[in-house]
Amino acid sequence: MNVNASSLSPDGIDRYVWETRYRWHDARGNTEHSAEQTWQRVAHAVAEAEAPDRWPQVAHAFHDLLADMRFLPGGRILANAGIDGDHTLFNCFVMGTLADDADIVTMALREAASTLHFGGGIGVDFSPLGSVQQGTQPGSNHAPGPLRLITLFDTLCANTLTGHLRPGALMATLRCDHPDILQFADAKRVRHRLRASNLSVLISDAFMQAVRLDAPWPLVDDGGQPVTDTLMARALWEHILRSAYDTGEPGVLFIDRINALDNLGYREQVHATNPCGEIPLPAYGACNLGSLNLTRFVRRPFADNAEWDIDGLIAATTLAVRFLDDVIDVSRFPLPRQAEQARGSRRIGLGITGLADSLIMLGLHYASRRARTAAVMALRTICHAAYRASCALAVEKGAFPWFDADALLARPFAQALPATLRRRIARSGLRNSHLIAIAPAGSISLLAGAVSSGIEPLAAIEQAFRVGGERGDMRIFDVEAYAKRVWVRRCENRPLPATFVTAAALDAEDQLLMQSELQHYVDNAISKTVNLPPTTPFAQFRDVYDDAYRLGLKGCTVYRSAANADRTCSTADPCD
C-alpha cells in the first residue's frame, strides 16, 4: 500500500491535518498548494545544515524519506522549517529553575512567554517554591506557592497560540515530599481548571520504599527540612492515585530512575519533561522529535511470511538521525540558554508510530509475547542503527561538545549497548547525547493516513475523529483503522482476524509489558497512556502504577476513557 505525497485523500483527515497544521501560508494569501511543496520546503531547509557540495544530495534524500512518509518529523519542523520569522523547530522546552523570589518568577514568566511565542510547549518544575500556606515574612521578596504560579503559567499557555491552531501546553511537576503535594494532586478536581497543563508528581525511590513499608513520609522544604506534620506514605500514594483515578491526573514520573538512567547524568539533573513526557530534560533543555512510520516497513502484510523490512528500517533510521541532527543547526531558539543546551548535548528524539497497525499487519495480537518480540526487534534495530549513525556523524562533523567517552560509557544505557557499538563510541565519539524517544505522535500519525499513534493499541477499528479547524470550527471524520484498509485491499470482504484488537479489550498488564520491554531501547522516555474502561475498580487502577514501578518504567499515566475527558495530550497533542 503506497502512501506518498500525491495520495493524500481529496477530502480526508490526512489532507485536513496538512491544510490546517502544516501547510505554509502568509497574510498576503500565498500558500503551498500540495503536500509535495511542504516536503520540498522542509527537506531543503533542513539540508541547509550540510556542506554546500552535499546539500543537493542530502536534500533529495530527505525529500524522499518525507514524501514516502517513512519518517514523520515533529510538527514544529513540518510547520516552520524554511519559514521566516520567530519560529522554532523544537516542539518543547523545559524552563529554568524557579525560586521563591519575585524577580526570578517574573523572569521565568517572560521566558515562558517568549518560548510559547516561538511555538514551543514548556515544562516547569515548581518544587523549589515554598508552600503558600507557610506565608511569607513581612517585606520579603517572596513568590507565591506552586498552585498559584501554575495557574499563571497555565493562563499564559491557554492564551498563546504556538502553531496555526495549537494553544500552548505546560507540564507542571512537583516533588512527592513538597508541602503542597496534596493540593497539587487535587488541582484538576475543579472541572476545566488548568486546561493547558499536564501535571506529574516526581516520585522518588525512597518514597516507593516508604509506600511498600507503610512508613511515615515527611514533607520538607527545598533545603530538606521538615515543614509540616508527617504523612503516611501509603496514604499519600493512595491520595495521588485517587485523584488520577477521578480526573486523569496527575501522572507520575519516577524521577530517581530517570536521573539514574540519563546518558548525561554525569553533568545534569532532570526535574521535568516536555508536556507529554517522552523527553526528560534539564533546565533550558529542548526536544527535537520525529517518528518512523512502522507501517511502511512491513513486508507482505497479512501474508503468512509477513516480516519487518530490517534493511529499510536501518536505512531510514540512519537518514532520520542526520535529519534531526541538522535540525539543531538550522533552528532558531527563543532563548540563548536553550540554544546552548541544545547545541551542547545535540539531544534528539527519534521514535516510532503505527506500531499497533503494523503488528496486526504482521499477523500478531498486541497482547502476545510474539508481538512484543516483534516490537522489540524493530526498536532494537532502530536504536542500534541510530547509535551507529551518530558515531558516523561524530567522525564527519564532530562529537557533541559535552561528550565524555569514559563518563558516558559508564552510564547504564550505554553499558547495555553491544560491545562492538561501545567500542565504536569510544573510538569515534557520539554526535548526539540521546537518540531515541517515543512520542504520542497524534497529528503526524493522522497525516500519514491515520495510522495508530506511537505505541498505543488501536483506539477503535472504526471511529469518529474530531479535528479543530482554523476558524474554531470542528470537523468530524469517520476513519477506519489503517490496518483494516490494508486488509480490505488485500483480502476484500473476508472477516477481520482476531489480531484486530483495541485498547478496550486489553488488560493493563498487556500495555505495561509492551512499554517496559521497549524501554530497554529508549534512552529518553516513552509517552504511553494505559487506557482502561471507566468501570475499572480503583484497586485495579492502583495496581497499574505499582506494576509500572516494578517493571522499571520511567513514568506512568492511566486514563479511564469516558471518566477522564479533559486531558491535554490528545489527538492533536502538544508534542506534534
How do 555-560 and 529-532 pair as beta strands? parallel
**For residue 202, what are the contacts with CB-CB under 8 A and spacing of at least 6?**
125, 127, 173, 174, 175, 176, 253, 255, 271
Distance CA 184, CA 571 (A): 26
Identified catalytic residue from 198, 274, 524, 531? 274
- Is 176 one of the catalytic residues? no
Q: With the C-alpha atoms ordered 45, 46, 49, 50, is the resulting torsion angle positive or negative? A: negative
Set of cell numbers at residue 552: 522499571
> Exposure pattern of 79-113 as b/e (b: 16+ CB <10 Å)?
bbbbeeeebbbbbbbbbbbbbbbeebbeebeebbb
Decide if 284 contacts 124 (C-beta within 8 A). Answer: no
How is residue 131 annotated by DSSP? P
Phi, psi of 36 (to 5 degrees): -55, -40
Decide if 388 contacts 364 (C-beta within 8 A). Answer: no
Q: Count CB atoms within 10 A of the CB of residue 423.
A: 12
Decide if 92 contacts 123 (C-beta within 8 A). Answer: yes
Give the residue among 294, 236, 335 at the shortest CA–CA distance from 451. Answer: 294
- Is 278 one of the catalytic residues? yes
Residue found under cell 526528560 = 280
Give the residue among 175, 389, 359 at the shortest CA–CA distance from 271. Answer: 175
> Exposure pattern of 33-62 as b/e (b: 16+ CB <10 Å)?
eebbebbbbbbbbbbebbeeeeeeebbebb
Identified catalytic residue from 50, 249, 268, 278? 278
- Is 276 one of the catalytic residues? yes
Identified catalytic residue from 276, 383, 391, 575? 276
Q: With the C-alpha atoms ordered 501, 528, 63, 435, is the resulting torsion angle positive or negative? A: negative
Decide if 156 contacts 108 (C-beta within 8 A). Answer: no
Decide if 92 contacts 575 (C-beta within 8 A). Answer: yes
Q: Which residues are catalytic?
A: 274, 276, 278
